[in-house]
Structure 1
């Protein structure tokens, strides 16, 4: 069915602040809705989202099977090339066999042990940031803790010198602006400039690590091989950029949205204060209850059917993660924020599913546990000072600031 534009208004700041009533309406109205402004099919139900994430009849790209013209699409403009080359060589936007090959190589360098060895660094960085905020009597938790922590962790992991790290967040913010629905010319120019600058920086760093390797992920990506197969320089650059962009956006916004949920549900905050062992369950509930990534796009490579609606090849589906995570068919009392909801049964889709399941999910969970755990142990009594202003972004959703105090 074609969706009335008044139901789904993603460019509205009010909608971004609370899309969940609209999701309830979408789920009640059906399983697939055509949204003319973005020419996408909206998929709001958990079972459909979960199934389509794993369905090989869909893809993040179509170029492994079709040309732009064969697929009925217009090639991206030439002036976007720095961004498209960077984006199209990252794991998130590749399909098999290229995806399988690169993920296999990257996984040899970015191992569970890599994440485990980062734990002391994450704990130290979190403690430093939180202690500073507490000593000042409060401030903007978003700018003082949520943003710098994951950037610092990923920079440490990649081996980026401390003096260069201030550039990472602006580069990432500019590039991820292109993931919003119908980004404008200003967003495109900013993304291109950031792509050129960040790619150039990483190429120089990779060259330096080739002659003087260290104990960092870039050095590991250079060294990794599988039966003689190695990552190209472009594949390494795109992998590093993806780790920053995808890895820190999720953690930044889950931190602020998680604290906002706790402030609005003080009984749940008391549970985590009284029973610290519940934090693992609590982190998964934060990811489910108010996921930072609301929508994930995929191309339809062969005709599919969703709830009796045929979605033809060449279409684009928008899988509504935020709606799927509040679907009462999957989650009991889905609109209730409950940090005691068992993690083993909290099968949210916030990290995706299938071959594009987030490679950095273990690192994100480590950072979130360290951040929330440190706040709960060493800076209890934190309070929200004012209701936050929401960013206008919808796909990657969050607040502009979170003012807290003691």
Structure 2
């Protein structure tokens, strides 16, 4: 049994995950290089350290996974999950996807995203409550990414539910990830890919089926498994993190009604408010890396084969970098690490920002005031994202 004041961080402990900030602060102050014997991982929590090492792929590798459970399981990650890749393969795949996530395509998505919001929210007008996750977070991002990929709307809810079941953790336990988990994940999209191959359209699946990458000096099409893996990754990563961002928007603006009223009066403040939500509550707050060779940090040896956690959610609250870091302030105007840094910077960041802005605009137009029903709220727990699984609010 641990002493009450012992510093202990465990990413599988739901009680810690519900509010990790006090422990992360102690780690920054008392153990800037933290070590957990039970799971054999190290962790960096200060802004300067995390910002420096996120792009350092030569020492901290992504190719064995970027979540602690995937690395601990020791499985081979299939090609196409660029989050789990290192250069040069990562660079080849990222260049391909950059042709898909163009600024023009993202701009074209805004009217459709607004239509999705309106379809969801208009029937709720007149009621005294709604849920930021069930009614918005679980709906709008999935519909947007589903439209981009060409997945029929009737099938989107089922895909999201199966993704939630796959990612969900059980309290206090490490769950081994198997190769079948990846295969089951991307096989969800097999029928769509096969149908789209026979019926091309103006969507991402068609682009991926027609795409070519340069390998060993020659162009080749993507394999079927690569197309499936890309599609699965885009559907999962593009959906889950934006869902949690929408939940944190609902929570933090309920807790800061004066700042929410400023947004009601001036929608031009909304983009800055979303950046502060991202800084204050990172939807993906912990990035895991495999240590590729012996290295040293703070005078301590880190052996090859260890796991390093780069805790960007802690770095975003580092008082050494942000004055009064635990204060939520929509006027702060500070950059953050919630979308990563360097070669793994989130390619979907513009899409996530646009969706969050549109959702908030449409909510504020209908309900300028709300308060969270915490008695019926519930956190979701995974090793890749953190946030609300349910966030009902009362409106008036």
Question: Per-residue deviation at 1:5?
Answer: 6.3
Question: Per-residue deviation at 1:392?
Answer: 4.5
Question: Per-residue deviation at 1:394?
Answer: 6.2
Question: Per-residue deviation at 1:108?
Answer: 1.6
Aligned twin of 1:175:
166
Aligned twin of 2:367:
379
- Using a 3 Å threshold, how does the CA distance of structure 1 residues 180 and 121 change in structure 2: closer, same or farther? farther
What is the rounded CA distance, in whole Å, between the counterparts of 2:353 and 2:389 in structure 1? 22
Task: Find the partner of 1:359 among 344, 347, 365.
Answer: 347
Aligned twin of 1:255:
246
Aligned twin of 1:61:
63
Aligned twin of 2:24:
23
Cα pair 1:38 1:181 within 8 Å, conserved: no
- Do residues 12 (structure 1) and 13 (structure 2) align? yes
Question: Per-residue deviation at 1:278?
Answer: 0.8
- Using a 3 Å threshold, how does the CA distance of structure 1 residues 23 and 139 change in structure 2: closer, same or farther? same
Task: Find the partner of 1:101 among 92, 102, 120.
Answer: 92
Task: Give matches, 1:241-320, under 5 Å.
Answer: 241-320=232-311
What is the rounded CA distance, in whole Å, between the counterparts of 1:232 and 1:13 in structure 2? 39
The CA RMSD measured in Å over matched residues stands at 2.6
Aligned twin of 1:164:
155
Aligned twin of 2:393:
404
Q: 1 or 2, which has the higher helix percentage?
A: 1
Q: Deviations over 1:57-91 (max 9, x none)?
A: 2211259xxxxxxx9x8854xxxxxxx555x5310
- Using a 3 Å threshold, how does the CA distance of structure 1 residues 140 and 360 change in structure 2: closer, same or farther? same
Question: Per-residue deviation at 1:180?
Answer: 10
Question: Per-residue deviation at 1:241?
Answer: 1.1
Task: Give matches, 1:45-194, under 5 Å.
Answer: 45-55=46-56, 56-61=58-63, 75-76=74-75, 85-86=77-78, 89-177=80-168, 183-184=174-175, 188=177, 192=180
Q: 1 or 2, which has the higher strand percentage?
A: 2
State the TM-score, normalized to the length of structure 1: 0.86
- Using a 3 Å threshold, how does the CA distance of structure 1 residues 60 and 196 change in structure 2: closer, same or farther? closer
Question: Per-residue deviation at 1:377?
Answer: 2.0
What is the rounded CA distance, in whole Å, between the counterparts of 2:165 and 2:19 in structure 1? 24
Residue 374 of structure 2 aligns to a residue in which SS?
Answer: coil
Consecutive unaligned residues in structure 1, runs of 5 or more: 64-70, 77-83
Residue 287 of structure 2 aligns to a residue in which SS?
Answer: strand
Cα pair 1:257 1:286 within 8 Å, conserved: yes
State the TM-score, normalized to the length of structure 2: 0.88
Cα pair 2:132 2:250 within 8 Å, conserved: no
- Using a 3 Å threshold, how does the CA distance of structure 1 residues 96 and 393 change in structure 2: closer, same or farther? closer
What is the rounded CA distance, in whole Å, between the counterparts of 1:204 and 1:393 in structure 2? 27
Q: Deviations over 1:32-75 (max 9, x none)?
A: 11111221001111111111111132211259xxxxxxx9x885
What is the rounded CA distance, in whole Å, between the counterparts of 1:85 and 1:147 in structure 2? 27
Q: Deviations over 1:157-208 (max 9, x none)?
A: 10011222122112221333479996326xx58x946x54543342222222
- Using a 3 Å threshold, how does the CA distance of structure 1 residues 303 and 183 change in structure 2: closer, same or farther? same
Cα pair 2:8 2:36 within 8 Å, conserved: no
Residue 33 of structure 1 aligns to a residue in which SS?
Answer: strand
